[in-house]
Amino acid sequence: MFLMLMALPVTSSANQPTGTNNVAATKCKGCFCPGNPCQLCRLPPHTDDPIPENEPETCRVIREAVPPASFQPGENEYFANLDKATIQCIRSGDVIPNTRRVPGYPGRVYCKPGLPALGAH
């Protein structure tokens, strides 16, 4: 599964820090932009990640299935949690690797929540 993640292309990214001005934010394209326009959530969930008030359902489900932890990449627990979180993400979202380590996005892998199902309330 990890090899599949490495083969996925990054949608788009820019090297803009989170606290940049509006001009820089308007030049940024893709999901890894200031303000988290795609409502990405880190895989696996990390204890340092704030929970937004308008958290997407996909991210909430992932966080409930894989409680946030402070494991670092390379630790056995990290990979076990990454696998569980990835499976949850695939059910209703897209897995996006962060190959450039954009400021404001410290994780290696993120979940982009999918669109709500038609007719869902």
Task: Write the DSSP string, 56-105.
Answer: -HHHHHHHHHS--B-PPTTSHHHHHHHHHHHHHHHHHEEEEE-TT--TT-
Checking if the pLDDT of 8 tops 50, the result is no
3-state secondary structure of 113: strand
pTM for the whole structure: 0.72
Checking if the pLDDT of 18 tops 90, the result is no
pLDDT bucket at 24, cuts 50 / 70 / 90: low
Mean of all residue pLDDT scores within the chain: 79
* pLDDT number for residue 7: 45
d(CA 48, CA 96): 20
CB 10 within 8 A of CB 84: no
> What pLDDT, in 10s, does the model give residues 29-85?
899 999 999 999 999 999 999 999 899 999 999 999 999 999 888 888 899 999 999
Query: 53 or 12: whose pLDDT is higher?
Result: 53
Select, from the ranges 16-20, 25-29, 84-88, 96-100, the one with the highest average predicted confidence (pLDDT): 84-88
Query: 91 or 76: whose pLDDT is higher?
Result: 91
* pLDDT number for residue 25: 54
